[in-house]
């Protein structure tokens, strides 16, 4: 058992989400940075579908009630056990009764706390993920919550520390054209590729809002709602793009100019407010 | 109608990032027809089909042959949409919605005539979205096509029955919403613990009944 002393700004239980329900109006949800979630599970010897805790901007404090093997991945937050500091991306034994705390990450936004066995709350439609848009899955963690530890582990972990690429100050996300690229002026696509955009403070697990040169429309018609995908770059009426993350709606009523490549969506989920980001056309996407 | 009901020339197949295609039509009936066709004769490499108002998303397997699938979608002949065979979900409604008089004004119909037209309609779920279990129902007579409210409500109660454009539907839970509300039902549209969780899914036939 794990007792939550403080969740920090936002902490949710996440796994690989609930794919396959989009036609019922239910999005996939799941860990916003899937690579980091999976790495955490690997480091503690879990199956990759085991649930982890997605910690937004550090601040999580827990007390473990039994000896536990944990790993912290994603945004590099210092890990404190009692007052001793440890690094991330490595398995760590935490004895029963002690307090574990995540400091503020030096870079990135979302850290993943994986525990051997996985977090064992009740699944909804086959997933333990909190979907902040649809309200499915467990509520965000609150002080005083207790989390059971499950049995989603495989063989004993064999990795001591995992090398991970560092976080860039101004990351470049690869994109491909979306279905409505031709609803924008020819300059808009070039603008999206040439100009840095700044992450605004009002992003969440649904999407990252950006601010920069507005993307002009060539077609002014209203778009009947159409399906969205993870990483879709939607452009509302103000011309400021928004990159959809794990809890994105199933459909949307604004045109999608491009789509962030699957391999880069996790990096989009690690963008911090105020940070700048650039887009590059994926090699075969053309300009 | 003939087999070429939805001319293949009037159809767009649009690239949607690395792993999806979007097929675009002129009306929602064609979307429903392609969805039904893909259920009967699936295309290899298509993992998930998500319909919407004028478009259908096809989520592709990582190793799918996009050119082949695009060509198959462009050339597939579609028959006129036939409602699915099977039970009709009956939804009892109390017609006392807050926008009933506005709808009467917009349509020129009496409230009794609105109720008659709504309960006489043989409806089908075209697609779901907005919230889990929210089905966009088509099959209304044109006399009931009304615009959304100019000012959306911040709070629409669960079970509210509304009209918007060519669609009618029921709010599965309390949420913001811009549809014109004509009534309410006690039916549970969504229950994650029920199997299936959604009362309505694309293709489900629906009939409203006045309580």
pLDDT at B3: 46
Best residue of B13, B18, B166 to probe chain A, by most A CBs closer than 10 Å: B18
> What length does chain A have?
287
CB contact under 8 A, A229 and B17: yes
- From the list B14, B54, B201, the residue facing A23 with the nearest CB is B201
pLDDT at A160: 74
pLDDT at A223: 92
- Nearest C-alpha in B relative to A249: B130
What band does B1 get if pLDDT is binned at 50, 70 and 90? very low
Closest Cα partner for A235 from A196, A260, A209? A209
Confirm or reject contact between A250 and chain B (CB < 8 A).
yes
Residue A77, token pair as written in the block = 């937050």
Asked if the ipTM is above 0.95, the reply is: no
Residue A220 lies in a domain: yes
CB-CB neighbors (< 8 A) of B57 in chain A: 22, 226-227, 229
- From the list A136, A179, A256, the residue facing B192 with the nearest CB is A136
Confirm or reject contact between B131 and chain A (CB < 8 A).
yes
Residue A204 φ then ψ, to 5°: -160, -165
Domain around A16? 2-149
Domain stops at, among A149, A180, A210: A149
**pTM for the full predicted model:** 0.93
pLDDT at B6: 64
Distance in Å, alpha carbon of A216 to nearest chain B alpha carbon: 20
Distance CA A255, CA A71 (A): 40
Q: Assess whether A131 and A14 both reside in one domain.
A: yes
Distance CA B87, CA B109 (A): 31
Mean pLDDT of A65-81: 96
Model pLDDT for residues B74-113, shown as the tens digit of each residue: 989 888 888 877 789 999 999 999 999 999 999 999 999 9
Here the CATH number for the domain that contains residue A255 is 2.40.100.10
Residue A159 lies in a domain: no
Q: Assess whether A42 and A128 both reside in one domain.
A: yes
- In chain A, the number of structural domains is 2
Distance CA B186, CA B199 (A): 13
The answer to whether residues A157 and A42 touch, using CB atoms and an 8 Å cutoff, is yes
Distance CA B177, CA B7 (A): 35
Q: Assess whether A179 and A61 both reside in one domain.
A: no
Q: Assess whether A6 and A40 both reside in one domain.
A: yes
Spatial neighbors of B59 by CB under 8 A, at least 6 apart, are: A229, B19, B20, B46, B47, B48, B49, B50
Residue B87, token pair as written in the block = 């039970």
The answer to whether residues A151 and A3 touch, using CB atoms and an 8 Å cutoff, is no
- From the list A20, A136, A179, the residue facing B16 with the nearest CB is A179
Residue A188 lies in a domain: yes
Residue A115: half-sphere exposure toward Cβ, Cα within 13 Å: 26
Give the lowest-confidence range in A14-28, A46-60, A155-169.
A155-169
Mean pLDDT of B193-208: 94
**Is there a cis peptide before residue B194, judged by omega within 30 degrees of 0?**
no
Residue A98 lies in a domain: yes
Q: Assess whether A128 and A182 both reside in one domain.
A: no
Model pLDDT for residues B29-67, shown as the tens digit of each residue: 999 999 999 999 999 999 999 999 999 999 999 899 999
Residue A15 lies in a domain: yes
Residue A253 pLDDT greater than 50, yes or no = yes
Residue B9 pLDDT greater than 70, yes or no = no
Q: Which domains does chain B have, with CATH numbers?
A: 12-75 (3.30.1360.40), 88-210 (2.40.100.10)
Residue B78, token pair as written in the block = 């579609």
The answer to whether residues B52 and B31 touch, using CB atoms and an 8 Å cutoff, is yes
Model pLDDT for residues B170-192, shown as the tens digit of each residue: 999 999 999 999 999 999 999 98
Which helix (H) or strand (E) segment holds residue A234: the answer is strand A232-234
- Nearest C-alpha in B relative to A252: B130
Mean pLDDT of B122-148: 95
Residue A162 lies in a domain: no
Rama region for A135: left / alpha / beta (φ>0; ψ in -120 to 50; rest): left
Residue A191 lies in a domain: yes
Residue A128 lies in a domain: yes
- Nearest C-alpha in B relative to A232: B17
Here the CATH number for the domain that contains residue A94 is 2.60.120
Residue A287 pLDDT greater than 60, yes or no = no
Residue A115 pLDDT greater than 50, yes or no = yes
Closest Cα partner for A242 from A279, A287, A190? A279
Residue B4 pLDDT greater than 70, yes or no = no
CB-CB neighbors (< 8 A) of A25 in chain B: 128-134, 198
CB contact under 8 A, A176 and B48: no
Spatial neighbors of A190 by CB under 8 A, at least 6 apart, are: A287
Distance in Å, alpha carbon of A231 to nearest chain B alpha carbon: 9
Q: Assess whether A121 and A11 both reside in one domain.
A: yes
Handedness of CA B128, B134, B139, B144 (dihedral sign): negative
Q: Assess whether A7 and A117 both reside in one domain.
A: yes
Confirm or reject contact between B17 and chain A (CB < 8 A).
yes
CB-CB neighbors (< 8 A) of B128 in chain A: 23-25, 250
pLDDT at A206: 96
């Amino acid at each position: 058992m794990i007792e939550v002393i403080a969740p920090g700004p936002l902490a949710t239980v996440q796994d690989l989400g609930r794919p396959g329900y989009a036609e019922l109006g239910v999005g996939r949800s799941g860990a916003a940075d899937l690579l980091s979630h999976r790495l955490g599970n690997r480091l503690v010897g879990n199956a990759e579908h085991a649930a982890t805790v997605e910690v937004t901007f550090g601040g999580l404090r827990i007390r473990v009630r039994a000896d536990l093997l944990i790993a912290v991945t994603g945004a590099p937050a210092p890990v404190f056990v009692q007052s001793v500091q440890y690094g991330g991306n490595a398995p760590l034994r935490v004895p029963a009764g002690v307090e574990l705390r995540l400091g503020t990450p030096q870079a990135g936004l979302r850290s993943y706390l994986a525990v051997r066995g996985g977090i064992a709350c009740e699944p909804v439609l086959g997933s333990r993920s909190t979907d902040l848009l649809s309200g499915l899955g467990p509520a965000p963690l609150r002080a005083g919550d207790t989390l059971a530890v499950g049995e989603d582990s495989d063989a004993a972990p064999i990795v001591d520390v995992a090398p991970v690429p560092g976080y860039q100050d101004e990351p470049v996300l690869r994109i491909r054209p979306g279905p409505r690229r031709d609803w924008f002026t020819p300059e808009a696509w070039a603008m999206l590729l040439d100009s840095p955009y700044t992450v605004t403070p009002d992003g969440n697990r649904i999407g990252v809002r950006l601010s920069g040169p507005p993307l002009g429309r060539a077609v002014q018609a209203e778009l009947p709602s159409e399906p969205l995908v993870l990483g879709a770059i939607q452009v509302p009426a103000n011309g400021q793009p928004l990159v959809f993350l794990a809890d994105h709606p199933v459909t949307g009523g604004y045109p999608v100019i491009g789509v962030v490549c699957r391999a880069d969506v996790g990096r989009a989920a690690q963008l911090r407010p105020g940070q700048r980001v650039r887009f590059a056309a994926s090699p075969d996407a053309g300009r | 109608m003939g087999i070429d009901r939805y001319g293949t020339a009037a159809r767009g197949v649009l690239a949607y990032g690395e792993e999806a295609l979007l097929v675009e039509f002129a009306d929602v009936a064609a979307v429903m027809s392609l969805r039904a066709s893909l259920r009967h004769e699936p295309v290899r490499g298509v993992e998930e089909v998500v319909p919407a108002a004028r478009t259908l998303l096809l989520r592709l397997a990582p190793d799918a042959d996009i050119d082949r699938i695009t060509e198959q979608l462009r050339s597939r002949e579609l028959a006129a949409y036939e409602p699915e065979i099977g039970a009709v979900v009956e939804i009892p409604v109390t017609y006392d919605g807050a926008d009933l008089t506005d709808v009467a004004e917009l349509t020129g119909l009496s409230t009794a005539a609105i109720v008659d037209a709504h309960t006489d309609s043989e409806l089908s779920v075209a697609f779901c979205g907005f919230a889990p279990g929210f089905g966009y129902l088509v099959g209304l007579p044109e006399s009931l096509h009304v615009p959304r409210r100019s000012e959306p409500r911040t709070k629409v109660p669960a079970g509210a029955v509304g009209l918007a454009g060519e669609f009618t539907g029921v709010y599965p839970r309390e949420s913001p919403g811009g549809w014109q509300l004509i009534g309410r039902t006690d039916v549970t549209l969504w229950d994650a613990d029920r199997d299936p969780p959604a009362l309505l899914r694309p293709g489900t036939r629906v009939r409203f009944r006045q309580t």
